[in-house]
Amino acid sequence: MAADQHGCPLLACPHSSSCRLFFPEDPVKIVRAQGQYMYDEQGAEYIDCISNVAHVGHCHPLVVRAAHEQNQVLNTNSRYLHDNIVDYAQRLSETLPEQLCVFYFLNSGSEANDLALRLARHYTGHQDVVVLDHAYHGHLSSLIDISPYKFRNLDGQKEWVHVAPLPDTYRGPYREDHPNPAMAYANEVKRVVSSAQEKGRKIAAFFAESLPSVGGQIIPPAGYFSQVAEHIRKAGGVFVADEIQVGFGRVGKHFWAFQLQGKDFVPDIVTMGKSIGNGHPVACVAATQPVARAFEATGVEYFNTFGGSPVSCAVGLAVLNVLEKEQLQDHATSVGSFLMELLGQQKIKHPIVGDVRGVGLFIGVDLIKDEATRTPATEEAAYLVSRLKENYVLLSTDGPGRNILKFKPPMCFSLDNARQVVAKLDAILTDMEEKVRSCETLRLQP
Ligand SMILES: Cc1ncc(COP(=O)(O)O)c(C=O)c1O
């Protein structure tokens, strides 16, 4: 076989194994999608429980039309005056606490978090970052460094990165029976900050997803973020809320997931991506005036070729319009509660379901080997996901043990979809239990 100068085989296929497919054993070729449904090349219809990017539904006609109409008129960059960028910033500001009033537009969640890091460092004059364990904040070099989910598999932790435990009340050190898990987990952050300071390090920022999703669909206890912010600000740092997976009404009762932490909690920087453009590459950083002014004071221009283009802003505005017109935030509350209720019944029925947690249409089902140890049921979760796919339900797993079934469907996911998906889950779990029972019977036979 032909080889390159490093001796690596030269393959005809341009695909790198660093890029993975869903269901690698039996990948799906999707050729069309609408709302919460995806269709393969044979025309088979799948219910999409994975895509929080197609936030208001795949190929939503109003979003598609907004992009098309603006594309026909003008697509340029943010160095020219344009109404779309101003209208869009205005509309976003109406969803946020008034302190978060300066907006930067970009193309991806990674770009947003990288800019947030720069802003935090300029504002504080410090370098270091505190992150939650198992977090993922993006694929740029700067963000791999603050993503334990990635750097643990690479050359390790940089000296300017400090990791605090996930505020996981199901599997973490402080659980549902702890009298004050919010304070206990916030004190862990305080401890991490103090130990960094003892080494002469200075904290620029605390980065966290408002609901840690890659970490396993975690719901931090209420009050945790305010207490963390207090410890971080005391150390001279800022609080960055990564809303890339969980913002834009997904949690139902609030537009932003950080608002679950109470009215008084306001991050210094909020990063947005994925759902913001319903699949179009749009992202945004919202910052407070003092943070933005410190960045301006450097005198260095911020320019992003595609960020904030008239088309991107038209798409962003259309997403906000659809959310409002179709009342998708309220819809997420009602369908999410119904789905939680159905999944709760599965927990009673099937011992493998250890925990069902969530808010709105952000739900995790934690699969365990046994209740006493709560050991992640990793292989079982993978098996379930592949069986669900055979049953035309697209679902995936998250968490360090890859045992948490994650529900993050498009926001138009319906009550009927919830019923269908849980009925299929129930049938597969029952079948799995049946198989285990017959194996045990066989083993018991002399
Ligand atoms: C929480 C979080 N932050 C940031 C990112 C990076 O976003 P992008 O892939 O758009 O660069 C992701 C992507 O998965 C994410 O889940």
Q: How confident is the model at residue 5 (pLDDT cuts 50, 70, 90)?
A: low
6 in a domain, yes or no? no
Identify whether the C-beta of residue 142 lies closer than 8 Å to the C-beta of residue 114.
yes
CA of 357 to the centre of ligand 1 (A): 22
E-assigned strand segments in 318-422: 353-359, 362-367, 393-394, 396-398, 404-407
Ligand 1 touching residue 398 (CB < 6 A): no
Is the same domain home to 296 and 350? no
Nearest-CA neighbor of 203 among 171, 232, 166?
232
Is the same domain home to 264 and 184? yes
Nearest CA to ligand 1 atom 3: 137
Atom of ligand 1 minimally distant from the CA of 113: 4
Domain stop point among 307, 325, 343: 325
For residues 33-56, average pLDDT:
98
Q: HSE on the CB side for 363, CA within 13 Å?
A: 27
Q: How confident is the model at residue 18 (pLDDT cuts 50, 70, 90)?
A: confident
Q: Report the number of distinct structural domains present in the chain.
A: 2
Q: Which of 129, 211, 245 to mutate to test the pocket of ligand 1 (most atoms within 8 A of CB)?
A: 245
Mean pLDDT (the chain) is 95
CA of 435 to the centre of ligand 1 (A): 39
Q: In the structure encoding, which two tokens stand for residue 121, read together?
A: 């460092």
Q: How confident is the model at residue 331 (pLDDT cuts 50, 70, 90)?
A: very high
Is the same domain home to 46 and 66? no
Burial annotation 207-241 (CB, 10 A radius, 16+ → b, else e): bbbbbbbbbbbbbbbebbbbbbbebbeebebbbbb
Q: In the structure encoding, which two tokens stand for residue 236, read together?
A: 């001279």
Nearest-CA neighbor of 44 among 390, 385, 387?
390
Q: Return all residues near 281 (Cβ < 8 A) that are at least 6 apart.
A: 107, 108, 306, 312
Q: Which domain holds residue 207?
A: 61-325
Q: How confident is the model at residue 1 (pLDDT cuts 50, 70, 90)?
A: very low
pLDDT digits (tens, 9 = 90+) for 263-307: 999 999 999 999 999 999 999 999 999 999 999 999 999 999 999
Cα distance between residue 246 and residue 212, in whole Å: 9
Burial annotation 99-133 (CB, 10 A radius, 16+ → b, else e): ebebbbbbbbbbbbbbbbbbbbbbbbebbbbbbbb
Domain stop point among 259, 292, 325: 325
CATH number at residue 347: 3.90.1150.10
Ligand 1 touching residue 244 (CB < 6 A): yes
CA of 440 to the centre of ligand 1 (A): 44
For residues 337-366, average pLDDT:
98
According to the model, what pLDDT value does residue 152 have? 85
Domain stop point among 270, 302, 325: 325
2 in a domain, yes or no? no
Residue where the block lists tokens 């509350």: 333
The DSSP-derived string for 418-446 is HHHHHHHHHHHHHHHHHHHHHHHHHHH--
Ligand 1 touching residue 169 (CB < 6 A): no
| H/E stretch holding 317 | helix 310-325
Q: In the structure encoding, which two tokens stand for residue 191, read together?
A: 């401890």
Identify whether the C-beta of residue 367 lies closer than 8 Å to the C-beta of residue 384.
yes
Is the same domain home to 341 and 294? no
Q: How confident is the model at residue 13 (pLDDT cuts 50, 70, 90)?
A: low
Nearest CA to ligand 1 atom 16: 245
For residues 248-275, average pLDDT:
97
Ligand 1 touching residue 135 (CB < 6 A): no
14 phi/psi in degrees, rounded to 5: -80, 0
According to the model, what pLDDT value does residue 17 have? 86
Nearest CA to ligand 1 atom 15: 137
Q: Which of 274, 284, 312 to mutate to test the pocket of ligand 1 (most atoms within 8 A of CB)?
A: 274
Q: How many residues does the chain have?
A: 446
Is the same domain home to 321 and 430? no
Is the same domain home to 317 and 428? no
Helices 109-124 & 289-296 angle (0-180, nearest 10): 80
Identify whether the C-beta of residue 398 lies closer than 8 Å to the C-beta of residue 217.
yes
Is the same domain home to 280 and 391? no
Task: Decide: helix, strand or coil at residue 272.
Answer: strand
Is the same domain home to 178 and 253? yes
According to the model, what pLDDT value does residue 7 have? 53
Ligand 1 touching residue 124 (CB < 6 A): no
Nearest CA to ligand 1 atom 13: 138
342 in a domain, yes or no? yes
The DSSP output letter for 60 is -
Ligand 1 touching residue 361 (CB < 6 A): no
Cα distance between residue 222 and residue 220, in whole Å: 6
Cα distance between residue 417 and residue 342, in whole Å: 12
CA of 272 to the centre of ligand 1 (A): 9
Ligand 1 touching residue 138 (CB < 6 A): yes
Find the range with the poorest average confidence among 16-20, 72-76, 259-263, 308-312: 16-20
The DSSP output letter for 220 is P
249 in a domain, yes or no? yes
Identify whether the C-beta of residue 368 lies closer than 8 Å to the C-beta of residue 403.
yes
Cα distance between residue 88 and residue 75, in whole Å: 15
According to the model, what pLDDT value does residue 438 have? 86
Is the same domain home to 418 and 350? yes
CA of 214 to the centre of ligand 1 (A): 10
According to the model, what pLDDT value does residue 101 have? 98
13 in a domain, yes or no? no
CA of 201 to the centre of ligand 1 (A): 27
Ligand 1 touching residue 273 (CB < 6 A): yes
Cα→Cα distances 66→55, 73, 398, Å: 16, 11, 34
189 in a domain, yes or no? yes
Cα distance between residue 369 and residue 104, in whole Å: 46
Q: Return all residues near 152 (Cβ < 8 A) that are at least 6 apart.
A: none
For residues 388-404, average pLDDT:
97
Ligand 1 touching residue 295 (CB < 6 A): no
CA of 110 to the centre of ligand 1 (A): 6
CA of 244 to the centre of ligand 1 (A): 6
Q: Which of 111, 137, 243, 272 to mutate to test the pocket of ligand 1 (most atoms within 8 A of CB)?
A: 137
Nearest-CA neighbor of 406 among 129, 206, 219?
219
287 in a domain, yes or no? yes
CA of 137 to the centre of ligand 1 (A): 6
Nearest CA to ligand 1 atom 5: 138
Residue 6 pLDDT > 60: no
Task: Decide: helix, strand or coil at residue 336.
Answer: helix
Nearest CA to ligand 1 atom 7: 109
Nearest-CA neighbor of 244 among 281, 271, 220?
271
Ligand 1 touching residue 113 (CB < 6 A): yes
444 in a domain, yes or no? no
Is the same domain home to 191 and 268? yes
Is the same domain home to 193 and 256? yes
Is the same domain home to 44 and 79? no
CATH number at residue 298: 3.40.640.10
